[in-house]
Structure 1
Amino acid sequence: MIEHLLRKAKKGDSDAFCRLMDTQTQSMYKIARSYLKNDEDAADAIQDTILSCYENLLSLKNNKYFQTWLTRILINKCKDILHKKKLTVYTDSIPDTPFYEDDFETTEWNQILAPLDEKYRIILLLYYMEGFNTSDISQILNMKESTVKTRLQRGRKLLSEACQYQTREGHA
């Protein structure tokens, strides 16, 4: 289905492009929310990603790498937002407005991953929640596959240690 929508979208069918993006929204939200920590920024990253995808869809040479390509764009948009936030000083607080309602599993997963450093968190999310393999993740994040494997292993270990610590704290 994605392949069919992708071919039609590349030929200029805007309805096919919209349906294609609809199939990817939940996945994009999970990744963006993990990176950015709030719904407003995640929505901005997704919107920027969709626009960039629309403008550059013809540059995608091999359709089978669509999800990897889209995820890489999304992560770059998330990094851009994080960079801009570091340069911006906020004078007032804007209340969060939900873009997408988290399901229980996603909320729980974000809570589990929250204490981890971003370099481990995003790899664990892409691997376990989005189903990418280490080769795909290395392409998405533009790093060596051996680095992805190492961070995946360390992330698992840190996660395991954090869970053991919480279990001990709960029984004390």
Structure 2
Amino acid sequence: MEIMSLIKKAKKGDDGAFYELMQIHKIRLLKIAFSYLRNEEDALEALQEVTFRAYRSIHKVKEAEYFSTWLIRIMLNYCHDQARKKKRIADTGLLENLAETVDHSQTLEIQEALLKIDSRSREVIILKYYHDLRIKDIAEILESPESTIKTWLYKGLKALRNQMEDRSGLNV
């Protein structure tokens, strides 16, 4: 696979290979950054910082197949650091792009409901449903067992359902 060879070349110091890898992952990283930082400029700054951090420590990637997970973990760590510095809760700015079938008011309701559930569950829901990551990948990124991720997802979805029921007064 081409990506695996790019990773091997980048680990050996090939700047062109590293650039190609970042181009491949740029959009996904920007989406994650934007969903946490809620600001395009902050998301672009996050991408720059993550690119620098990844470039500086590319040699630390032990297994090439986990390169994507490694990059996403760097981005999440950066976003969490920024959220702590600014003392604001990481949320889901990309929810507005949800599904075409969900109208704007429902999107806002989902966004508000997500903010009211615990941060671990919220993070798992965002990574699973808005960034299409598998449970296995989320477990790698969050450095937790898959069973724990499944538990957080289950509890988060239950809490989200309860929040939505409370808002509408109906069973969802």
Q: Which runs of 5 or more residues in structure 1 are unaligned?
A: 88-100
CA-based RMSD of the aligned residues comes to 3.1
Higher mean alpha-carbon deviation, 27-36 vs 136-145, is at 136-145
Q: Does the 8 Å CA contact 2:95/2:111 hold for their aligned counterparts?
A: no
3-state SS in 1 of match to 2:87: helix
Q: Which has the higher contact order (CA 8 A, sep 6+)?
A: 1
Aligned sequence identity (%): 37
Residue-by-residue CA offset, 1:94-118 (whole Å, 9 max, x unaligned): xxxxxxx99944898x854453143
Paired residues for 1:151-166 under 5 Å: 151-163=152-164
Q: CA deviation at 1:50?
A: 0.8
Determine the C-alpha separation between the residues in 2 that align with 1:145 and 1:163. 27
Determine the C-alpha separation between the residues in 2 that align with 1:105 and 1:42. 19
TM-score (structure 2 length as normaliser): 0.73
Determine the C-alpha separation between the residues in 2 that align with 1:74 and 1:106. 25
Residue-by-residue CA offset, 1:77-126 (whole Å, 9 max, x unaligned): 11111122139xxxxxxxxxxxxx99944898x85445314322221122
The residue identity in structure 1 corresponding to 2:5 is H
Q: Does the 8 Å CA contact 1:114/1:121 hold for their aligned counterparts?
A: no
TM-score (structure 1 length as normaliser): 0.73
| 1:3–1:51 Cα change, 3 Å | same
Q: Does the 8 Å CA contact 1:6/1:17 hold for their aligned counterparts?
A: yes
Q: CA deviation at 1:161?
A: 4.1
Report what 1:92 is aligned to.
none
| 1:133–1:104 Cα change, 3 Å | closer
Asked if 1:70 corresponds to 2:71, the answer is: yes
Asked if 1:26 corresponds to 2:24, the answer is: no
Paired residues for 1:124-143 under 5 Å: 124-143=125-144
Q: Which runs of 5 or more residues in structure 2 are unaligned?
A: 89-93
Report what 2:14 is aligned to.
13
The residue identity in structure 1 corresponding to 2:34 is R
